[in-house]
Structure 1
Amino acid sequence: MTLEKVTLILQTHVPATAVEYCAGLWKATPFELKVSKSRQTKVGDFTSRGSRRHPRITLNNDLNPYQFLLTYVHEVAHLHVYLKHGNRVDPHGVEWRTTFTDLMIPMLWETVFPEEILHELRRHMINPMASSFSDPKLTQVMRAFDKNASQYVVLGTLPEGSIFNFQGRYFMKGKLRRTRVLCREMKSKRDYLVPVDALVSNIQLSLL
């Protein structure tokens, strides 16, 4: 993969003021960058792929520019931690949190993020979570810039007990378990773990 191809992808998906910085991250530690179709279970991921091939980072193509940027740096932080520590540390442990924060600091300016996002993002980056969608306040301001903002909400922002539609089935939201939520399908009464950052629709909010 070439720097020119990576730059073209970044020009399409991140704020213009972040392109040079993000391209520089790739140039310093090259990896395969792939933009994928929207996935219900994740917005991005990092795969080491062994010693013979470049690591791969994939990101969903429907993320707004600010979420794409945040997810891109999130995954690059995984790459940096992997190159330094291999698989010997917690994927979202102190090494990753420190690296992620360090990589995001140059981007925490009004020239990159809108003021309403920047306020919540600066707070979030003091101790970043495994998924930014676990932070309801940050998720809310981020989602306001989505093209389909009025159609979907992030599961993690709903109160416990809410009824929602996910992949054509209705569930009741239960307890949070790290990065997933224990939810009960209304028809079968079976419990499922649904990603906290899943986009859901047709919401009936809990009255509790």
Structure 2
Amino acid sequence: MDKIKVLEKYLPGGAAPLVGRWIDYFKCEFKISRSRNSKFGDYRPPFDGKGHRISVNNNLNPYAFLVTTVHEFAHLHTWNQHKHLIKPHGAEWKSNFKKMMQPFFDQQVFPADVKSAITAYLNNPAASSCSDLNLYRSLRKYDANHATATTVEKLPLKAVFKLKDGRVFRKEEQLRKRFRCIEVSTKRIYLFSPVAEVELVEVA
């Protein structure tokens, strides 16, 4: 199947042709990956005979998929310019990320709320769109399960919850941006993002 038609299944309307041109121009292997809890996307520079490789999670909504795709292509472009001589998310990457996002602003592919959140994020992009809570929340609103998803910030204090891997935690106080949580079985302390998806455990 033509790559543009495949990309159109994951990207907002009008965005696929430019992403397709990037794939060709940069001679990049672009993979739509299964969901990964630790990251939305990934970039790997040329190594051991392989060229540029980018992967983006297949379960992202179209706007999150596009933001992640631009993020990873900005890494690729920055690597071509500077190799490993700079910080991964330094000024050079930030500049490229802004430039590569602009065509999608020009095409008006984002809803107003997402565009506003991206604009604020672009003033000082972080290492991950997940780490900017305003942008993350704006993107999450377009997830199919947004209304039913349970996040740490929605739970009351002392609530017990579990992760997909079965580990069980108790929610404690908020420390700046994250919540202190105690793993019930080990009593170890972990810091959770407010928007981490969890499952509430009913305690008898």
Which TM-score band applies after superposition, normalised by the shorter structure?
A: 0.7 to 0.9
Shift of 1:94: 1.1
CA contact (8 A) 1:109 1:118 kept: no
Shift of 1:202: 3.2
Say which SS state the counterpart of residue 57 (structure 1) adopts. Answer: strand
Say which SS state the counterpart of residue 56 (structure 2) adopts. Answer: strand
TM-score by length of 1: 0.80
Paired position in structure 2 for 1:169: 167
Say which SS state the counterpart of residue 21 (structure 2) adopts. Answer: helix
**Which one of 65, 69, 84 corresponds to residue 68 of structure 1?**
65
TM-score by length of 2: 0.81
Is structure 2 residue 124 aligned with structure 1 residue 95? no
Equivalent-residue separation in structure 1 for 2:8 and 2:151 (angstroms)? 26
Paired position in structure 2 for 1:190: 188
**Which one of 5, 11, 19 corresponds to residue 14 of structure 1?**
11
Give the gaps of 5 or more residues in structure 1. Answer: none
Say which SS state the counterpart of residue 32 (structure 2) adopts. Answer: strand
Deviation by residue 1:62-120 (Cα, 9 ceiling, x = unmatched): 10000000000000011111112112211111111111111111112573011111111
Deviation by residue 1:125-155 (Cα, 9 ceiling, x = unmatched): 1211111122222211211110111233666
Equivalent residues in 2 for 1:106-121 (5 A)? 106-109=103-106, 111-121=108-118
Identity of aligned residues (%): 32
Q: Which amino acid aligns with 2:88?
A: P
Paired position in structure 1 for 2:44: 47
Equivalent-residue separation in structure 2 for 1:106 and 1:10 (angstroms)? 17
Equivalent-residue separation in structure 2 for 1:47 and 1:61 (angstroms)? 18
CA contact (8 A) 1:45 1:59 kept: yes
Distance change >3 Å, CA 123–CA 190, structure 1 → 2: same
Equivalent-residue separation in structure 2 for 1:49 and 1:162 (angstroms)? 48
Distance change >3 Å, CA 21–CA 40, structure 1 → 2: same
Paired position in structure 2 for 1:135: 132
Deviation by residue 1:16-36 (Cα, 9 ceiling, x = unmatched): 211122112222212111111
Say which SS state the counterpart of residue 100 (structure 1) adopts. Answer: helix
**Which one of 181, 198, 201 corresponds to residue 198 of structure 2?**
201
CA contact (8 A) 2:179 2:194 kept: no
Equivalent residues in 2 for 1:30-41 (5 A)? 30-41=27-38
Distance change >3 Å, CA 111–CA 154, structure 1 → 2: farther
Q: Which amino acid aligns with 2:66?
A: L
CA contact (8 A) 1:162 1:203 kept: no
